[in-house]
Structure 1
């Protein structure tokens, strides 16, 4: 399952994400990972969450993200939920880029094969989202 939370800056995406992450600590039966850009969530999320700061790994493309997520799972089959905050900022992509849809479809396929949930935030106007992105709202 992939869920996308999308909106312009100041619409509460990060607050919603923090609430979802912290509730996942109590509801998930496995490990929870959060990939973020910058260290803004460090003090807001539960210490049991594995927080990954994307700039430490030079994430810059969707292909890199695919490999990174695959590697995370290969190293820990107990991951049940991955949160990705500000996806398009992490990979330097535009919301109208067709590769965003392709990545979300790949993420959904990976999710189904490995029984992992993904929650992703994207900072952009919801109106700009293609149908391929909107299906994950």
Structure 2
């Protein structure tokens, strides 16, 4: 399962993400991971959540992100939910770029194959979303 939360700055994406992350720690039977850009969530999320600061790993494209997620899962099969905050800012692509849709489709297949949930935020106006991205709203 892949869920996308999309909106411009100030629409409450981060607040919604924090609530989802903190509730996941109580409802998930496995480990929960959050990949973020910067350290804005450090004090707002439960200490049991594995927080990954993306800039420490130079995630410059979706191929790197795929390898990173695959590697995290290979090292810990108990991961049940991965949150990705500000996906397009982490990778450095335009939110309307077709590669976002391709990556979300890959996440969906990875999710189905490995029984992991993904929740992703994208900082952009929802009107910029392609039909392929909208199917994950």
TM range (shorter): over 0.9
Q: Could you tell me how far apart the structure 2 residues matched to 1:61 and 1:22 are?
A: 28
**Per-residue CA shift, 1:15-52, capped at 9, x if unaligned?**
00000000000000000000000000000000000000
Give the corresponding residue for 2:7.
Answer: 7
Give the corresponding residue for 2:21.
Answer: 21
Q: Could you tell me how far apart the structure 2 residues matched to 1:87 and 1:96 are?
A: 12
Match status 1:134 vs 2:116: no
Gap regions ≥5 residues in structure 2: none
Q: Could you tell me how far apart the structure 2 residues matched to 1:72 and 1:124 are?
A: 27
Q: Could you tell me how far apart the structure 1 residues matched to 2:56 and 2:72 are?
A: 15
- Cα offset, 1:125, TM superposition: 0.2
Which contiguous aligned blocks of 4+ residues in structure 1 show a shift greater than 3 angstroms? none
Gap regions ≥5 residues in structure 1: none
TM-score (norm 1): 1.00
Q: Could you tell me how far apart the structure 1 residues matched to 2:21 and 2:93 are?
A: 24
Give the corresponding residue for 1:60.
Answer: 60
SS in 1 for 2:80: strand
